[in-house]
Amino acid sequence: MAHHHDHSHDIASERIGWAFFLNLGFTIIEFIGGWLTNSTAIMADAVHDLGDSLSIGSAWLLNKFSNKGANQHFTYGYRRLSLFGAFINSVVLVVGSVWVLVLSVPRLFDPVMPVTEGMLALAILGIAVNGYAAVKLSSGKSLNEKVLNWHLLEDVLGWGAVLVVAIVLMFVDWPILDPILSICFTVFILINVVRNLVQTVRLFLQGAPDKKTQTKLTKVLIEPQEISTAHHVHYWSLDGEHHVLTAHLCLAQELNAEQVIALKQRLADNLAEYDLAHTTLEFEYPQEQCRDG
Q: What is the DSSP string of 71-92?
A: -SSSTTTTTTHHHHHHHHHHHH
Nearer to Zn ion, 96 or 175 (CB): 96
Q: Are 233 and 270 in contact (CB under 8 A)?
A: no
Integer Cα distance of 251 and 287 in angstroms: 10
Closest approach of Cβ 157 to Zn ion, in Å?
10
Q: Are 119 and 165 in contact (CB under 8 A)?
A: yes
Mask for 264-293, x = binds Zn ion (CB under 5 A): --------------x-----------x---
Mask for 115-154, x = binds Zn ion (CB under 5 A): ----------------------------------------
User: 3-state class of 132 per DSSP?
Assistant: helix
Nearer to Zn ion, 69 or 106 (CB): 69
Phi and psi for 210 in degrees, rounded to 5? -155, 120
State which amino acid sits at residue 144.
N
Q: How many residues interact with Zn ion (rule CB under 5 A)? A: 5
- Which of 30, 45, 155, 178 is close enough to bind Zn ion by CB under 5 A? 155
Closest approach of Cβ 109 to Zn ion, in Å?
29
Which helix or strand (DSSP H or E) is residue 231 part of?
Answer: strand 227-237
Q: Are 269 and 242 in contact (CB under 8 A)?
A: no
- Is position 248 an interface residue for Zn ion (rule: CB under 5 A)? yes
Mask for 42-81, x = binds Zn ion (CB under 5 A): ----------x-----------------------------
Enumerate binding residues for Zn ion (CB under 5 A).
52, 155, 248, 278, 290
